[in-house]
Structure 1
Amino acid sequence: MKSFKIFAINPGSTSTKIALFLNEEIILSENIVHSTEELAPYPEINDQLNYRKEIIIKVLEEAGQSLKDVDAFVGRGGGFKTVKSGVLEVNDLMLKDAYDGFAGQHPCNLAVQLANEFVSEFGGVAYTVNPPVVDELQDLARATGLKNVYRKSSIHALNQKEVGIRYAESKGKNYEELNLVIAHLGGGISVTAHSNGRMIDSSDNINGDGPMSPNRAGSIPALSILRLAFSGTYTEKELEKLLTREAGWTNHVGIADGIELGERIKNGDLQSKFIHDVLGYQVAKNIGSYATVLKGNVEAIILTGGLSYDDSLVEMIKEMTGYIAPVVVMPGEFEMEALAAGALRVFRGEEEAQEYTGEPVWQGFNFEEEN
C-alpha cells in the first residue's frame, strides 16, 4: 500500500494542535499552547496567522521534522458558508470566506489559511474535513421568533462525527443507525442531536447559543444584548470580541483554563466553584433539550472534548442527565486522526473531495404546495 504523508492543523482559542502522519501512523503530535499574553498583540484572529505559522515551523524544527514531501495539509476549517459533510479541497473562495469570517470569527478559520500557506511553500494539496459549518439541520431547528433570522449550523462536526462512529463501532453497530446526544466540551461547546448519522439540531458554538464556555457567552436574553449594543460602551467589534472570546469563565473569574480553575476550587475559591457549576448546569440542560428533539429515543449521551477530563463536571452532568440514557465519556478529541483519515480516503479512492462553491446547503424555506 502506498504511503502518504499528511499534516493536520487544528487551531483553537488558546492552542494550535498539529500532527504529522504517515498513513494512519502518527509521526509527531504537539499541542502548542498560547497564553493570553502571547495572543494579546493580535487584536483580530486573522492577525494571528503569521504568529501561528512561525511557531508551528519552530516546533517542527525543534522536533527534527520537516514539511517537505507532505502530500496533504488538512485544516479543521471553519468560518465559511455551510457545506455537506465530507472532505473539501481548499480553494480561493473558501480562503476568502474563512478570512472574512462569513460564519463568525473563530481561530479555526485560520486552519485552511495555514494549510494554504504551507502548500504554497512546500507543495501538496490542502483539504478540510467535516468543518464546523457542516449543515445537516432539520428545518424545524432553523426557525426563530423572527421570520428573517435563522439558527445556523456551527458544530464541532469533526470530533462529534468521529466519536459517534467510534462509539457505534464499540457496540458493533453503525453510526448511521443510532440516535445520540453528543456534547463537545472545550473552549467552545456544542451539544447536538444525532439522528441516524445526521446532526439534525445543535447549539451554535460561535453565534451565542447554548451553554457558556470557558471564553464564550452562550445564550443570553436578547434584550440584554440589545441594551449592551446601544449602551455606547462597545463598538460592534468590541462587543463581538466580548461575547466570543472574553465571556464565560474568562469574564467571571479571569481565566479560561480548566486546570487552573480546578486548582482555585481546591483552594476554596467559591466564585470559581459556582461559575464552574454554572457551565455544567447549562450543558446538562441543553442535553435534556436535544434529547427531546430525538423524542427520548437516545442510545447514549456522549461527553467529549478537553473539559470531559474534569471528573466533577462530568459527575454533575451525569447526575442531571443519566436518567435519559447511559452517559459515555470519550475525553479529549479525535480530530487530528479524523483529519488525516479524510485525506487518506481521498488518496485511496474511497471518497471524492468536494469543491467548495460558496452555495450554502440550506437556501430558505419552501412552503409551496407539492404537485
Structure 2
Amino acid sequence: MQAPGRAGWRVLAIDPGSTSTRWALYVDDNPVHEVTLRHLDAELEAYVRVWDQIPYRLERLRSSLAGRGVRVEDLHGVVARGGLLAPIPGGTYSVDAAMLDDLARAERGEHASNLGAPLAAHLAEPAGLPAWVVDPVSVDEMEPVARLSGLPGIERRSLCHALNMRAAARRLAQDLGVPYPSLRLVTVHLGSGVSLAAHRDGRMVDVCNPNDEGPFSPERTGSLPVTQMVDLCFSGRYTADELKRALVRRGGLVAYTGSRHLPDVLARAGADPEVRLALDAFVYQVAKEVGALATVLEGRVDWILLTGGGAHAAELVAALTERVRFLAPVRVDPGEHELEALVQGALRVLRNQEPARFYGIMCGG
C-alpha cells in the first residue's frame, strides 16, 4: 500500500460492546469522529447467538458512517477489537479466514468482542482494504514457569485487558522517550474486572486473569479459598453455569455492597463501615497482586502503571499508591482509550513500524 499524501492515513476503528457499537474515524493520530451506537435489549433479544447480530450491527454501522459522510473507499484500513481467540502473542493481526472461523464457532465463549473482526472484514473487503484486530484479550506471552498451577491438567491461562494495558505502556514509554521493550512494568487495569500484568522486553510475561485469580473487583470474585470452593461446587446451591455467573458478574464489591459502581461505593464508604471494609479489602488485594508481580521482575520495576476506568477515582488511586509506591514510582493513565489503541496498532502497520501478524499461521490454521 502506498503512503498517503498530505491528508494522512485514514483509519476506521470499531469496538463492539454488549449493548453498543462504538466507532471512530482517525486521520493519522487525530480523531475526526467518535460515535456510540446504542442497542436496546429488546433489539438484541431477537438473536440467539452473538454472531447472529452481525447483519443488524453492520447495517447500523453503515447507516451511521453514511450519515457523517464517511466513505469506506476513502479509508486506508479498518481495525476492530479482537475477540475470544486462541492464545496468541501481542500485536496487530490481519483478519483472515482462520480467525473468522474461530470466532464463528465461539468455542472459547460468546462475547460481543467476537463481532469486531467480522464487522471490520465486511466493511473492508468489498473496498479492497485491510482489516485488523489489535491485542485481543487472549494475548498470551506468559513464560513456561508461569503456567503451572500446582495441579497437572489445570494450567494458568492468560486472559486480560491486553489492549488497554499495552497501549498505556506504550504511551508511558513515548512520554519517557524510551522504547517500550526497555521498560519493566507492572500494569493494573481497574475496571469491572481487574487485570494485572508484568511487562519485560515488550512482552507481558505473566498476567493476572480476572476470571480465575487475583483480587476481587467491582463484580468478580478473583481468587477464592480452594477447599471451600470445592464444597460450594458440590453443595447443590448452583448449577455450573449459575456458579460461573456468580464468580464473574455477582462477586466482589457488588456482592459485599450491592453496587458494582466505584463512584457509588466510594461515596458510601465514609458513612458505612461495611462498605469501607469492602473497599479497603479491594485496595489491599490489588496491592498484594502488584507485589506478587513485582517478584516476577525480580523486584526491578521501573514503573507501576494504573489505568482503566477505576483510575479516574482519586481516592482509590491514592489508597493504592500509598501501598505500592515503595516498589516503584506510580503513573496514572485513567480510562481505556480502546478506539485510540486500535488505531495506533493499525498505524504501526501502515507506517511499517511493525509487520501485521497472521492468525492462521500463528495457530496452525
TM-score range, shorter chain: 0.7 to 0.9
2:219 corresponds to: 215
1:126: Cα distance to partner?
2.2
Equivalent residue, structure 2, for 1:365 = none
Task: Please state if 1:149 is matched with 2:160.
Answer: no
In structure 1, which of residues 8, 16, 23 is the aligned counterpart of residue 13 of structure 2? 8
Q: What code does the residue aligned with 2:312 have?
A: Y
Counterpart of 2:207 in structure 1 is 202
Distance in 2, matches of 1:175 and 1:110, equals 30
1:316 aligns with 2:315: no
Kept in 2, the 8 Å contact 1:78–1:103? The answer is no
Measure the CA separation in 1 of the matches of 2:226 and 2:202.
32
| Matched residue, 1:364 | none
Q: CA deviation at 1:60?
A: 5.2
Q: 2 CA distance for matches of 1:256 and 1:45?
A: 24
Q: Is the 8 A contact 2:96 2:360 kept in 1?
A: no
Q: Within 5 Å, which residues of 2 pair with 1:54-133?
A: 64-66=68-70, 68-69=72-73, 70-119=75-124, 124-133=129-138
Task: Pick from 339, 344, 352 the counterpart of residue 342 of structure 2.
Answer: 339
Q: Which moved more, 1:215-224 or 1:278-287?
A: 215-224
Matched residue, 2:308: 305
Q: Which piece of structure 1 moves more, 19-28 or 351-360?
A: 351-360
Letter in 1 for 2:245: K
**CA spacing shift, 1:106–1:277, aligned 2, 3 Å:** farther
1:224-243 aligned at under 5 Å gives the runs: 224-243=228-247
Residue ranges of structure 1 left out of the alignment (5+ in a row):
362-371
Contact (CA 8 Å) 1:303, 1:331: kept in 2 or not?
yes
Alignment RMSD: 3.2
1:11–1:17 Cα contact (<8 Å) kept: yes
- 1:23 Cα offset (Å): 2.5
Separation in 1 of the partners of 2:330 and 2:160?
A: 20
SS at match of 2:197: strand
3-state SS, counterpart of residue 111 of structure 1: helix
Task: State the partner residue of 1:283.
Answer: 286
In the other structure, the counterpart of 2:252 is 248
Q: Render the CA deviation track for 1:244-295: whole Å, top value 9, x for unaligned.
A: 23333334444433334344446x3444443333322221111010011111
- Contact 1:95/1:113, CA 8 A, preserved across alignment: yes
Partner amino acid, structure 2, of 1:90: V
Taking a change above 3 Å as real, the CA distance of residues 358 and 163 of structure 1, as seen in their structure-2 partners, is same
| Cα distance, 1:19 vs structure 2 | 1.7
Alpha carbons of 1:275 and 1:30: their partners in 2 closer, same or farther (altered >3 Å)?
farther
Counterpart CA distance in 2 for 1:34 and 1:271 is 36
Q: Judge conservation of contact 1:277–1:313 (CA < 8 Å) in 2.
A: no
Q: 1:301, 1:327 within 8 Å by CA — same for their partners in 2?
A: yes
Equivalent of 1:182 in 187, 194, 197? 187
Number of aligned residue pairs: 358
Question: Residue type of the partner of 2:217?
Answer: S
- Native 8 Å contact 1:208 1:216 kept in 2: no
Report the AA paired with residue 142 of structure 1.
R
Pick from 31, 36, 47 the counterpart of residue 26 of structure 1. Answer: 31
| TM-score (normalizing by structure 2) | 0.84
* Cα distance in 1, alignment partners of residues 207 and 100 from structure 2: 26
Letter in 2 for 1:81: A
Q: Distance in 2 between matches of 1:245 and 1:97?
A: 25
Q: Which moved more, 1:347-356 or 1:137-146?
A: 347-356
- Quick one: which of 191, 198, 219 aligns to 1:193? 198
C-alpha contact (below 8 Å) 2:72/2:123 kept by paired residues? no
Q: Distance in 1 between matches of 2:315 and 2:70?
A: 41
* 2:292 aligned counterpart, secondary structure: helix
Cα offset, 1:143, TM superposition: 0.5
Instruction: For 2:360, give the aligned amino acid.
Output: T
SS at match of 1:357: helix
Q: Give 1:59 deviation, angstroms.
A: 5.8
Q: State the SS of the aligned residue for 1:302.
A: strand
Distance 1:223 1:39, change over 3 A: farther
C-alpha distance in structure 1 between counterparts of 2:49 and 2:231, whole Å: 24
Check 1:259–1:12 CA distance in 2 against 1; reply closer, same or farther (3 A cut): farther
Q: Render the CA deviation track for 1:31-85: whole Å, top value 9, x for unaligned.
A: 56779999888897557656755665676567x3545334422122131111122
Deviations 1:168-213 (A, max 9, x none): 22223222112111111112221111112221111013x3221222
Q: CA deviation at 1:321?
A: 0.7
What is the identity, as a one-letter code, of the residue corresponding to 2:315?
A: S
Percent identity reads: 37
**What is the match of residue 259 of structure 1?**
263
Q: Which runs of 5+ in 2 are unaligned?
A: none
Distance 1:112 1:217 in 2: 30
